[in-house]
C-alpha cells in the first residue's frame, strides 16, 4: 500500500517523503484507515513495525482536517519512558515538518527550566503532548493543564506501562480528560490486565494483531553492498565453487531471472529458471528436477517465495531487495527448514539501500554486511537515508524547528 492511497494531506505526504518512507508497513496498512475514520483501536504491535508513524500520521491528518482549538491540548500520547517520549517527539517533528502542528514532550528527570517550558505549553495549549505518566500528573496536580479540548488519547507500549506499575497513574490522568475522545492503545503483548484496561478506556475498538514474522535463528544472513552491474558476476562467483548444493536465487523481475539463468548456464552451472511465463508442465518439471537434485540452482521470481516446501535448500540468494520485511522473511525462509542450517545472501544496489534499511528496521537488527572480493572492484558504502536519528530539536513548540528532517525540501 502506498501512502498516497490513504488520502493524507499533501503536507503530510511531503513529510513522509522527507523521512524516506516509500510504502506503508503492515501495521500502518491495518491501523491507519480505522484511525482516520475516527475509531478507537487496540493494536498488538512491537517496536520496529512502524507503529509510531501508524498512529502519528492519521493523528496529524485529523488535526489538519478536523476543526480544533489551537489554544487547547488536542492530543495526548502517554508512554512509559522518557526515551520513548523523545523518540516519538522526534518522529513527529519529521513527519509534521511541513505542517503547523505543534508538540511538546513532557517527561521526568529534566530540570526546572524544562518544567517551566512544559508548564507554559500546557497552559497555553499545544496540539500534541507526548508524556510520561508521573510527570503529567505533577502538572495536572497544579491545575493549569488545558484539557477541555482534548480529542485524542494514545497509550503506547501500554503493557510496559502496566509492568512498571503505572495503571493507577494512567487512570488518574484519564479522569481529567473529556469523555468524548478517540482512544488508541498499542501494546506488544495482550495479557489479561491489558484487556481490563482496554475495557475501561476504549469504546467499540477495532482490534488489530500484527505478528511480524522473524527469520529462523539458524539462518546465517549476509548482505553485500554493491553496484547493480556487479550483481551477476558476484553471484556467478558465489555459485562457482561446490560449497552449496541446493540454491534458490530470487529476482523481483522475470527479465532478471532470464538474464541471470542464461549467464549461469553459460558458466556451465546447473541452473534453470522458474516464473509465470513457463507453462505448468514445464514449471513442475523444473521443480521436480530441483527436488531430485538433478538441478542445483533454481532462479525464480517470488512465485516460489511463499508456501512451496522444498527440503534441504542450503543457500538463498536475493538478487535484489524484496519489497518488504515479510517478503524478505518468506524468501529466506526457504532455507534452514526444520532444524537444518541455512545461508541467505542479499545483494543490495545503491538505489535499494533505503528499502533494505527499512527491512532491517522491521527485523529489529542490522543484517551482517559481507565483504566483496577485491577483484570485483570498488563497492559503494552502506549509507541509507537512515530512519531519522533526530537530536536537533528535542522539544518543539509552535513548530519551532531547526531544519528539515532530510533531503532538500523547503517549507
Q: Binding residues for ligand AMP, per CB under 6 A?
A: 21, 24-25, 28, 47-53, 358, 361, 387
Please state the closest distance from residue 360 (CB atom) to ligand AMP, in A: 9
Query: Which residue lies nearer to ligand AMP by CB, 208 or 299?
Result: 208
Counting other chains too, the contacts that 325-331 makes at CB distance below 8 Å and 24 or more residues apart are 325/25, 325/212, 325/358, 325/359, 325/362, 325/363, 326/26, 326/212, 326/213, 327/302, 328/215, 328/359, 328/363, 329/213, 329/214, 329/215, 329/363, 330/305, 330/306, 331/250, 331/302, 331/305
Please state the closest distance from residue 397 (CB atom) to ligand AMP, in A: 22
Please state the closest distance from residue 32 (CB atom) to ligand AMP, in A: 10
Between CA 226 and CA 350 the distance in angstroms is: 7
Query: Which residue lies nearer to ligand AMP by CB, 336 or 358?
Result: 358
Between CA 314 and CA 13 the distance in angstroms is: 42
Query: Which residue lies nearer to ligand AMP by CB, 14 or 169?
Result: 14
Please state the closest distance from residue 357 (CB atom) to ligand AMP, in A: 8
311 burial type by CB count under 10 A (0-12 exposed, 13-18 middle, 19+ buried): exposed
Query: Which residue lies nearer to ligand AMP by CB, 23 or 70?
Result: 23
Query: Which residue lies nearer to ligand AMP by CB, 52 or 349?
Result: 52
Query: Which residue lies nearer to ligand AMP by CB, 44 or 52?
Result: 52
Please state the closest distance from residue 382 (CB atom) to ligand AMP, in A: 16
3-class secondary-structure state, position 71 = coil
The residues, any chain, with a CB within 8 Å of residue 80's CB and separated by 6 or more, are 132, 133, 156, 157, 160, 161, 164, 166
Query: Which residue lies nearer to ligand AMP by CB, 50 or 205?
Result: 50
Please state the closest distance from residue 310 (CB atom) to ligand AMP, in A: 31
- Residue 42 belongs to what H/E stretch? strand 41-44
Query: Which residue lies nearer to ligand AMP by CB, 25 or 396?
Result: 25
275 burial type by CB count under 10 A (0-12 exposed, 13-18 middle, 19+ buried): buried
Between CA 233 and CA 383 the distance in angstroms is: 23
Please state the closest distance from residue 89 (CB atom) to ligand AMP, in A: 13
Neighbours of 263 (CB within 10 A): 16
- SS3 letters for 320-353? CCCCCHHHHHHHHCCCCCCCCCEEEEEEECHHHH
Query: Which residue lies nearer to ligand AMP by CB, 172 or 401?
Result: 401
Residue showing the smallest CB distance to ligand AMP in the complex: 387
Query: Which residue lies nearer to ligand AMP by CB, 24 or 249?
Result: 24
Please state the closest distance from residue 183 (CB atom) to ligand AMP, in A: 19
3-class secondary-structure state, position 153 = strand
Between CA 397 and CA 125 the distance in angstroms is: 10
Please state the closest distance from residue 358 (CB atom) to ligand AMP, in A: 4
Query: Which residue lies nearer to ligand AMP by CB, 187 or 296?
Result: 187
Please state the closest distance from residue 99 (CB atom) to ligand AMP, in A: 18
Q: What is the arrangement of strands in the sheet containing 152-155, beginning at the earlier edge strand?
A: 103-106, 128-131, 75-78, 152-155, 182-187, 41-44, 206-209
Please state the closest distance from residue 13 (CB atom) to ligand AMP, in A: 12
User: For 230-305, where are the E strands, in sequence order?
Assistant: 247-250, 271-274, 297-300
Amino acid at each position: 500500500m502506498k501512502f498516497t492511497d490513504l488520502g493524507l494531506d499533501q503536507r503530510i505526504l511531503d513529510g513522509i517523503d522527507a523521512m524516506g518512507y516509500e510504502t506503508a508497513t503492515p501495521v500502518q496498512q491495518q491501523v491507519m484507515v480505522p484511525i482516520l475514520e475516527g475509531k478507537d483501536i487496540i493494536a498488538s504491535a512491537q517496536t520496529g513495525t512502524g507503529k509510531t508513524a501508524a498512529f502519528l500520521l492519521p493523528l496529524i491528518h485529523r488535526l489538519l482536517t478536523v476543526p480544533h482549538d489551537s489554544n487547547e491540548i488536542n492530543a495526548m500520547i502517554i508512554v512509559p519512558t522518557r526515551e520513548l517520549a523523545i523518540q516519538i517527539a522526534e518522529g513527529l517533528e519529521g513527519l509534521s515538518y511541513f505542517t503547523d502542528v505543534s508538540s511538546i514532550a513532557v517527561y521526568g528527570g529534566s530540570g526546572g527550566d524544562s518544567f517551566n517550558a512544559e508548564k507554559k505549553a500546557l497552559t497555553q495549549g499545544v496540539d500534541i503532548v507526548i508524556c510520561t505518566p508521573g510527570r503529567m500528573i505533577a502538572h495536572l496536580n497544579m491545575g493549569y493543564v488545558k484539557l477541555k479540548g482534548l480529542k485524542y488519547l494514545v497509550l503506547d507500549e501500554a503493557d510496559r506501562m502496566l509492568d512498571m506499575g503505572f495503571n493507577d497513574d494512567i487512570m488518574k490522568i484519564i479522569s481529567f480528560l473529556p469523555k468524548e475522545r478517540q482512544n488508541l492503545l498499542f501494546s506488544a503483548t495482550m495479557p489479561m490486565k491489558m484487556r481490563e484496561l482496554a475495557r475501561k478506556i476504549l469504546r467499540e475498538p477495532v482490534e488489530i494483531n500484527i505478528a511480524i514474522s522473524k527469520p529462523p535463528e539458524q539462518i546465517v544472513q549476509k548482505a553485500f553492498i554493491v553496484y547493480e552491474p556487479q550483481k551477476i558476476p558476484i553471484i556467478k562467483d558465489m555459485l562457482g565453487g561446490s560449497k552449496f548444493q541446493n540454491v534458490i536465487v530470487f529476482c523481483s523481475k522475470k527479465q532478471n531471472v532470464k538474464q541471470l539463468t542464461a549467464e549461469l548456464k553459460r558458466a556451465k552451472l546447473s541452473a534453470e529458471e522458474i516464473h509465470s511465463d513457463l507453462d505448468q508442465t514445464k514449471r513442475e518439471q523444473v521443480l521436480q528436477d530441483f527436488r531430485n537434485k538433478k538441478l542445483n540452482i533454481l532462479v525464480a521470481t517470488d512465485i516460489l517465495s511463499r508456501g512451496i516446501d522444498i527440503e534441504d535448500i542450503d543457500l538463498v540468494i536475493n538478487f535484489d531487495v524484496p519489497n518488504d520485511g515479510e517478503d524478505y522473511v518468506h524468501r529466506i525462509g526457504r532455507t534452514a527448514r526444520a532444524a537444518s542450517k541455512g545461508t541467505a545472501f542479499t545483494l543490495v544496489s545503491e538505489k535499494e539501500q533505503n528499502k533494505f534499511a527499512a527491512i532491517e528496521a522491521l527485523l529489529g537488527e542490522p543484517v551482517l554486511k559481507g565483504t566483496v572480493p577485491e577483484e570485483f572492484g570498488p563497492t559503494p558504502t552502506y549509507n541509507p537515508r537512515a530512519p531519522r536519528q533526530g537530536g536537533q530539536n528535542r522539544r518543539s513548540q509552535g513548530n519551532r524547528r531547526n531544519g528539515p528532517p532530510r533531503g532538500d525540501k523547503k517549507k
